[in-house]
Amino acid sequence: MLFLTLLIIAMIALLVRYQTRSAAIFGGAMLITVAVGWVSPEALLRNAANPGLATLIMLVLISFALEKTSLLRRVSAYLFSPSQSASILRTMGFSALASSVLNNTAVVAAMLNAVRSNKYIAPTKLLIPLSYAAIMGGTLTLIGTSTNLIVNSMFTDTGHAGFRFFDFTLVGLGVTCAGLFVLFVMTFFLPDEHEEKSAISEYFVEAKLAEDSPLVGKTVEDAGLRHLDELFLAEIIRKAEILRPVARYDVLQAGDKLVFSGNVGKVMALKQFPGLSLFAEEQGLETHKLTEVIVKEDSVLVGKTLKSTGFRARFDAAVVAIRREGERVTGKLGEVVLQPGDFLLLATGPDFSTRHNITKNFYVLSGVSPENMLSGWREKLTLWGFVGMIAVSVVTGTSLFTGSLFLLAGLLFTGCLHSNEIKRRFPVEIWVIVASALCIATAMTSTGLSQGISDFAASALAGYAPLVTFVGVFLLTYLLTELITNNAAAALMFPIAYSLAVGMGVDPFPMVMGVAFAASASFLTPYGYQTNLMVFNASTYRLKHFLVTGAPVAITYVVACIVLIPMVFPF
């Protein structure tokens, strides 16, 4: 019991320190539980094939087909009008409703370009509301967010029937409406900066000076690089030396790498200088047609440099510029270590749109769209098939496992989804985290730790109302969600919350529901949730904007959950 407790504490510390390595940390803990005999191989296989986990995996795979439809992009174009208040309300409402049945990261990615390019409202007034509304909208249904499905899979593993599709809806509606009201009020404190001053203004562009360029030997001032329109020469990379800041009297040398920051819409101005070529042009691609993408959190590029990934051969594209908020991008473009949420401006080759790995690694915002986007009858089949699956589950009581199994088979049979896509995009990380969490829960039972927590609850907490324990569990889960990932927080807290409820002799349903709601939200920083990171990188937001806007929303969310969950689901 003591050793397992120390293992769980060590896991939490590692998850806080290495948030992007959640699967490795959970997987390592699972291997330890098997190695010391707390979890048998049979139990490991049973946990890995948990019906709730299988349902979660199939729904994630189905979402890949939904991502390829154009519904969200088409609808989001009609959300904006000269009325700022109406535009904000429509954006928040649509984002929340769409996220109740679709992956909220995909919802934000689909709406992001429409928000940034609308001609009425400053994107900075809409992007944080877009992300926060998507987060809250995920609490409306069982499939609204992966944390709900993770908690459901662990709940079914305890022998319970699990959640029904609309079990979350009553509480979720109250929480979402209260949160959106406060969020709407807080939008008045967000900056009012339009696109030309915000999202496009801080790209990092690299150009190389050829040996035979007439600019060689001239000063920066004489070469005309000092006063470019909306482009700023930030640094010069000369072999192993970086000149920063660049002075007007610095002399240009052959082979210099010139690093600019500014409006990438003005990047063609650099082609007016003889002997100056962009990084993408060195890769053999023309830059007259550019595509903007966001690096996905599960992309193979994360943690690697452009040079080491074989970017040109892998995607038939080359990076013209890169944008990242939260830190300054510096050094050679090919040696920048890519992170989730990075914005890349790509010069694309003729095969770019046919590559099946584009949607695996990027959210495409503008420019060339991949050819594997669905249209015509396949798009209708995907959308109506998804609606039909939900309707059948709600009306007839058929399990989501059965409905998602047949829908997934239908999508594969009709070519809406391909087996290669499933191989490339199989959600290994979620599968490892949930299977490992189930093994840790099994280890807690076999070592007596679960019984120990139950005995503690039965004795030390006997004189307290269940609401007190519920509040403690909820706040601890929410704190972990802000410190680590939401999926990891749900997986760690479920067995503790369940054991406490059993020990106190109360219905575990509201306690488990509290874990799901607490792990579904992150409002205080841009780094705690992928949608927050996406809108952070797409704007001129600073950390203070998330704190000022998010703190009242977080307080409202927490209070509403603590009040509503015990009311709707009494102990």
Residue 335: count of CB within 10 angstroms of its CB: 11
Number of domains in the chain: 1
Per the CB < 8 A criterion, the answer to whether 223 and 252 are in contact is yes
Asked if the model's pLDDT at residue 92 lies above 90, the reply is yes
Task: Give the whole-angstrom CA distance, residue 288 versus residue 319.
Answer: 13
113-135 burial, b for 16+ CB within 10 Å, e for fewer?
bbbbebeebbbbbbbbbbbbbbb
Q: Please compute the mean of the pLDDT values over residues 325-345 and round it to a whole number.
A: 73
Residue 357: inside a domain: yes
Model confidence at 463, pLDDT cuts 50, 70, 90, reads low
> Can you tell me which residue has the tokens 């429409």?
114
Residue 297 lies in a domain: yes
- Which pLDDT tens digit goes with each residue over 477-519? 888 887 777 788 888 888 888 888 888 888 899 999 999 999 8
The two three-digit tokens of residue 387, written as one number: 């609606």
Band of the pLDDT at 230, cuts 50, 70, 90?
low
According to the model, what pLDDT value does residue 409 have?
94
Percent of the chain's residues with pLDDT above 70: 88
Query: Measuring CA to CA, how many Å separate 120 from each of 76, 194, 467, 540?
Result: 14, 9, 47, 18
User: Which CATH number covers residue 316?
Assistant: 3.30.70.1450
Query: Running DSSP on this structure, what letter comes out for residue 224?
Result: T
Distance, CA of 53 to CA of 160 (rounded, Å) = 14
pLDDT tens-digit series, residues 167-207: 899 999 999 999 999 999 999 888 887 644 444 446 777 78
Query: Is 469 part of a structural domain of the chain?
Result: no
Mean pLDDT in the chain?
82
CB 98 within 8 A of CB 72: yes
Are 172 and 561 in contact by the 8 Å Cβ rule? The answer is no
Question: For 295-320, what is each residue's pLDDT tens digit?
Answer: 887 788 888 888 788 887 888 887 87
For residue 556, give both structure tokens: 């409202």
- Distance separating alpha carbons of residues 76 and 119, to the nearest angstrom: 13
**Helix and strand totals (H; E) in the chain:** 24, 9
176 in a domain, yes or no? no
Within-domain flag for 334: yes
pLDDT value at position 101? 84
What residue numbers bound the domain in which 324 lies? Answer: 198-366
Residue type, 540: T
- The answer to whether position 272 is within a domain reads yes
Predicted TM-score (pTM) of this structure: 0.72
Domain membership of residue 431 (yes or no) is no
Residue 380 lies inside a defined structural domain of this protein: no
Q: What is the pLDDT of residues 10-25, one digit of tens each?
A: 888 888 777 667 888 8
